[in-house]
């Protein structure tokens, strides 16, 4: 993930022999290395920036990766599907024209997102049951495959708040809501089924719960709903400070601790795309290709200069390589 820019982009098809099932690699600082040279379908290495044609070349329909040439350097990108479908945050295209593609764009929080202009998933059918919520970060509605269950009627921020700042327009606070099986709002705040964590946990960005309620990086301890929309149903919450600082755009919400992921000081997370110098004591306050504590349990790290590419079948989600849903 990176800072928004207006860098020009050039895409070139390089290989038609590898599966399109992994996320972005970080910057290729040596595109002519023997590693790179072995990957082209013709045995050649990646093209030098000056050799790449100006403008876009069509994204391939079959198995292929493309090279992205930006002002920041050269990147290799694999088209990454979510549950068998390819969306804007996994298509290797700069859909919003900001100079950043897919997981390099701070508005992209996973391959299951059809929107590079904000955090709303923008997928037909995603969480379309009024006020009810299942895993926010996958591409379907209903809890049948993930068993995550929440209801915006349980959120106190729906109480006596004007429509412009309610997490979900049209809901009203009702702590007496009950879930299938008789669970109350308090029960679901405290516990979610194990399968919810197993299925939705890897897709959930650091700093968020599995229902799209995320800690505001500009106001720690306060949370905003990634799926915030206006009265017209348009996405209003994005990674810009202007949006994150406006409660009518990134609306306040109550996180569900039962499926909430922490964001420690030396981790990338929702809306946070760089780490403080204290995280790099051995590199004079700059990234050196590895950050202690960036990812848990030895999980591959990504998203910072010098860090290796995610393995095939994974996507860079807030600085850690996570497996995508096949």
Measured CA to CA, the distance from residue 213 to residue 227 in angstroms comes to 8
Retrieve residue 324's tokens: 């995508």
235/285: higher pLDDT: 235
The confidence score (pLDDT) of residue 238 equals 96
Q: Tokens for 181?
A: 């099986």
Q: What's the pLDDT tens digit per position in 102-161?
A: 888 999 999 899 999 999 999 876 666 778 899 999 887 665 677 899 999 999 999 877
- By CB atoms closer than 10 A (0-12, 13-18, 19+), residue 232 is exposed
For the chain, the domains span: 1-123+307-326, 130-262
What pLDDT does 73 receive? 62
Residue pair 245/239 in contact (Cβ under 8 Å)? The answer is: no
pLDDT band, very low/low/confident/very high, at 28 (cuts 50, 70, 90) = very low
Rg (CA), the chain: 20
Is the per-residue pLDDT at 7 higher than 50? no
Q: What is the pLDDT of residues 299-316, one digit of tens each?
A: 888 888 777 767 667 889
- Tokens representing residue 295 in the block: 């990812």
Query: Which pLDDT score is estimated for 173?
Result: 92
pLDDT of residue 283: 59
Cα dihedral 315→266→206→114 (10° resolution):
-40
Task: Give tens-digit pLDDT for 250-296.
Answer: 999 999 999 999 999 889 999 988 888 888 877 555 555 567 788 88
d(CA 310, CA 101): 15
Cβ atoms 301, 311 nearer than 8 A: no
Distance set, CA 111 to CA 24, 107, 302 (Å): 11, 11, 15
Give the pLDDT confidence of 34-89 residue by residue, as tens digits: 333 223 233 333 333 333 333 333 333 344 566 666 555 666 677 788 888 889 99
Whether pLDDT at 31 is above 80:
no
pLDDT at 70: 59
User: Whole-structure pTM over 0.75, yes or no?
Assistant: yes
What token pair was written down for 206?
A: 């650091």
Q: How far apart are CA 126 and CA 300, in angstroms?
A: 29
DSSP 232: T
- In order, the DSSP letters of 117-164 are SSS----TTTT-STTEE--TTSS--SSTTT---EEGGG-GGGSS--GG
pLDDT at 256: 96
Would you state the pLDDT for residue 12? 41
Q: For residue 69, what are the contacts with CB-CB under 8 A and spacing of at least 6?
A: 9, 10, 11, 12, 49, 52
């Amino acid at each position: 993930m990176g800072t928004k820019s207006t860098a020009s982009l050039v895409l070139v098809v390089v290989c038609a022999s590898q599966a399109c099932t992994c996320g972005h690699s970080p910057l290729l600082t040596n595109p002519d290395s023997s590693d790179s040279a072995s990957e082209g379908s013709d045995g050649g290495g990646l093209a030098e920036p000056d050799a790449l044609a100006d403008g876009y070349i069509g994204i391939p329909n079959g198995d292929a990766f493309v090279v992205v040439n930006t002002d920041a350097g050269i990147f290799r990108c694999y088209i990454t599907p979510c549950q068998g479908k390819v969306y804007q945050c996994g298509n290797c295209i700069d859909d919003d024209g900001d100079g950043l593609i897919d997981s390099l764009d701070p508005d992209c929080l996973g391959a299951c997102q059809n929107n590079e202009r904000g955090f709303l998933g923008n997928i037909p059918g995603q969480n379309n049951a009024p006020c009810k919520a299942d895993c926010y970060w996958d591409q379907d509605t209903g809890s049948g495959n993930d068993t995550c269950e929440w209801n915006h009627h349980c959120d106190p921020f729906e109480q006596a708040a004007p429509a412009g700042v309610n997490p979900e327009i049209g809901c009203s606070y009702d702590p007496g809501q009950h879930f299938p099986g008789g669970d109350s709002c308090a029960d679901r705040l405290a516990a979610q089924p194990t399968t919810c964590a197993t299925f939705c946990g890897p897709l959930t960005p650091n700093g968020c719960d599995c229902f799209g309620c995320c800690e505001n990086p500009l106001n720690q301890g306060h949370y905003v709903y990634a799926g915030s929309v206006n009265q017209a149903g348009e996405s209003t919450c994005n990674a810009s400070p202007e949006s994150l600082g406006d409660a009518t755009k990134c609306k306040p919400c109550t996180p569900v601790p039962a499926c909430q992921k922490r964001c420690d000081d030396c981790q990338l997370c929702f809306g946070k795309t760089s780490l403080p110098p204290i995280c790099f004591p051995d590199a004079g306050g700059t990234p050196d290709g590895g950050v202690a504590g960036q990812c848990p349990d030895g999980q591959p790290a990504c998203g910072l200069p010098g860090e290796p590419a995610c393995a095939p079948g994974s996507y860079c989600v807030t600085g850690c390589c996570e497996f995508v849903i096949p």
